[in-house]
């Protein structure tokens, strides 16, 4: 946070499982480059993960694993904040306040709520419903200018803006109204087994999802089994979802354009192409995995990193929280 004139970019990720290749190419890799241009605020959204039931020991492990993985990708706590949401009490507190400025009707329209309540029909809890007010609190506490998010979170960001405008309309300028930030090279990585769907750790078919920490032979196996089509020609075209996805992934890790890839693989079969993509991904992830192994073995260092960011985040966020409480009419 060395330069106060830079814009503030903020994003959180749920530590609800391992970090996937999709998370890396679609989000975290862009976070890493954004650290130069913005004052960046990143965090693990652990409070959000309990909207779906978690197993305590696994949850603890997932949080530390995600923290170490993301540091290993290149998030630098000297340049950016990278904290754990539940360690900063203002998030839950502002979320409650914002709940009282968010309408039942608005929350009912959220497609993620509809999808998740269909998927977890036995546990449609209030937290799942009010998830977007907590997300709004995450963002508004830091007066963020821009929020890098995937397409699936745009509706929540739009609601955040509505809540901010509503609150500001009642009480004057308390919250900065944030913009969505669509990164220039944000790859949308699809499942290797069902390329019409986003790559997800909850994919029913384990071969559909590559995890950042998968061993090289597992990564190779998953790419070799990737679903393609029967044309046997490496070209980017409508209806070739599997090959398009592999070309996107290959392009994202090598920097090659679709045209260059098509030229390089002219006359070659899908077998060769899949091996090339797998090898390129393995090489991209190799140094990240090595760094992760180092970090996860040093819990004291990890703790030093998140405590440092937690403390700064608590200070910054308290300013906004206090202002909001004062405006509402609480006795401070």
Footprint on this chain of ligand TRP (rule: CB under 6 A): 10-14, 45, 48, 135, 138-139, 147, 149, 153
Instruction: State which residue, 29 or 274, has the beta carbon closest to ligand TRP.
Output: 29
From the CB of 45, what's the least distance to ligand TRP, in Å? 4
Q: Phi, psi at residue 20, to the nearest 5°? A: -105, 165
To the query of whether residue 315 is one of the catalytic residues in this protein, the response is no
Closest CA to 136 of 123, 119, 149, 118: 149
- The DSSP string of 262-273 is HHHTTT--HHHH
From the CB of 41, what's the least distance to ligand TRP, in Å? 9
CA distance 78 to 234: 43
To the query of whether residue 327 is one of the catalytic residues in this protein, the response is no
Displacement of CA 204 from its chain's centroid (Å): 20
Helix (H) / strand (E) containing 112: helix 111-119
Tokens of 293: 């192994």
Q: How many CA atoms lie within 13 A of 28 on its CB side?
A: 26
Residue of 198, 222, 240, 274 marked active site: 198
Strand, helix or coil for residue 42? strand
The residues facing 8 across adjacent strands are: 39
To the query of whether residue 274 is one of the catalytic residues in this protein, the response is no
Q: Phi, psi at residue 41, to the nearest 5°? A: -125, 115
Instruction: State which residue, 13 or 50, has the beta carbon closest to ligand TRP.
Output: 13
The residues facing 131 across adjacent strands are: none
Instruction: State which residue, 49 or 244, has the beta carbon closest to ligand TRP.
Output: 49
Helix axes 29-37, 56-73, angle to 10 degrees: 50
Instruction: State which residue, 116 or 211, has the beta carbon closest to ligand TRP.
Output: 116
From the CB of 204, what's the least distance to ligand TRP, in Å? 20
3 state SS for 73-84: HCCCCCCCEEEE
Residue of 201, 289, 308, 327 marked active site: 201
Residue of 116, 222, 240, 274 marked active site: 116
The residues facing 165 across adjacent strands are: none
Instruction: State which residue, 198 or 274, has the beta carbon closest to ligand TRP.
Output: 198
From the CB of 217, what's the least distance to ligand TRP, in Å? 30
Instruction: State which residue, 34 or 149, has the beta carbon closest to ligand TRP.
Output: 149
Strand, helix or coil for residue 204? coil
Catalytic residues: 116, 198, 201
């Amino acid at each position: 946070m060395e330069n106060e004139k830079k814009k503030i970019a903020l994003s959180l990720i749920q530590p609800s499982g391992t970090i996937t290749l999709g998370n890396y190419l679609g989000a975290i890799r862009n976070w890493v480059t954004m650290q130069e241009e913005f004052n960046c605020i990143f965090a693990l959204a652990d409070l959000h993960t309990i909207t779906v039931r978690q197993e305590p020991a696994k949850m603890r492990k997932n949080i530390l694993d995600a923290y170490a993985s993301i540091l290993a990708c290149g998030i630098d706590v000297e340049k950016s904040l990278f904290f754990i949401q539940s360690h900063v009490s203002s998030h839950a507190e502002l979320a409650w306040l914002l709940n009282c400025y968010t309408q039942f009707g608005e929350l009912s329209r959220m497609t993620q709520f509809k999808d998740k309540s269909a998927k977890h029909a036995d546990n449609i809890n209030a937290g799942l419903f009010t998830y977007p007010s907590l997300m709004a609190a995450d963002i508004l506490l830091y007066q963020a200018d821009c929020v890098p998010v995937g397409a699936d979170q745009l509706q929540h960001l739009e609601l955040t803006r509505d809540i901010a405008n509503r609150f500001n309309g009642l009480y004057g300028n308390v919250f900065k109204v944030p913009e969505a930030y669509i990164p220039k090279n944000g790859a949308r990585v699809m499942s290797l087994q069902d390329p019409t769907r986003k790559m997800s750790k909850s994919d029913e078919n384990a071969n559909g999802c590559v995890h950042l920490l998968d061993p090289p032979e597992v990564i190779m196996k998953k790419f070799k089994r990737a679903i393609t089509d029967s044309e046997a020609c490496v070209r980017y075209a409508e209806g070739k979802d599997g090959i398009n996805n592999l070309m996107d992934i290959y392009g994202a890790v090598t920097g090659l354009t679709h045209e260059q890839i098509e030229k390089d693989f002219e006359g070659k079969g899908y077998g060769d192409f899949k091996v090339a993509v797998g090898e390129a991904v393995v090489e991209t992830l190799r140094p990240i995995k090595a760094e992760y192994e180092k970090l996860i073995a040093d819990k004291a260092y990890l703790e030093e990193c998140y405590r440092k960011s937690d403390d700064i985040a608590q200070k910054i966020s308290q300013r906004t929280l206090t202002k909001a409480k004062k405006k509402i009419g609480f006795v401070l």
